[in-house]
Amino acid sequence: MAFSTGRDSSDVVSEINITPLVDVMLVLLVTFIITAPLLNNAVHINLPKTSSTSPPSQVKTVTVSIDAASRVFIDKREVTLLEVETDLKSLVTHDPDLALSLQADEGVPYRSVAKVITNIQRAGVTKLAVLTQPGG
């Protein structure tokens, strides 16, 4: 659509009229402003209030390590595979809630790790954490 400028009837204005575009954008903006709060999928819960408590005491964990040569260590003390169960049984009798961390070298065959886990289970340990290196 062309408009005359008033100077000469043969001159045509070739500029884009942006008024309709602004009108459409304002309608879309109002539509999004109205519908955005309706898209919130959060569940609002009023949690009960309690008095503050002290943090749980830090429990010292026992670390069982398996190095690349498949040697087994309990807290940096080398033991044989047969001693793992007996040593852990004595620790469990002193502390029934014993927390144990297991770390194994990545080159250790799985059968060695499985044997140690079996001995840990037979010793009565119920809290076992397997430590890994973060990353990929």
Q: What is the pLDDT of residues 13-28, one digit of tens each?
A: 778 888 989 999 999 9
Q: What angle do CA 88, 90, 95 make, to 5 degrees?
A: 90
Phi-psi category of residue 12: left, alpha or beta, with phi > 0 → left and psi -120 to 50 → alpha: beta
Q: What is the pTM of this model?
A: 0.55
Burial annotation 10-47 (CB, 10 A radius, 16+ → b, else e): eeeeeeeeeeeeeeeeeeeeeeeeeeeeeeeeeeeeee
* Domains of the chain in sequence order: 62-130 (3.30.420.270)
Query: What pLDDT, in 10s, does the model give residues 34-59?
Result: 888 777 655 444 555 666 656 555 66
Distance between CA atoms of 130 and 136, rounded to whole angstroms?
A: 16
Q: Which residue has the tokens 């040697």?
A: 71
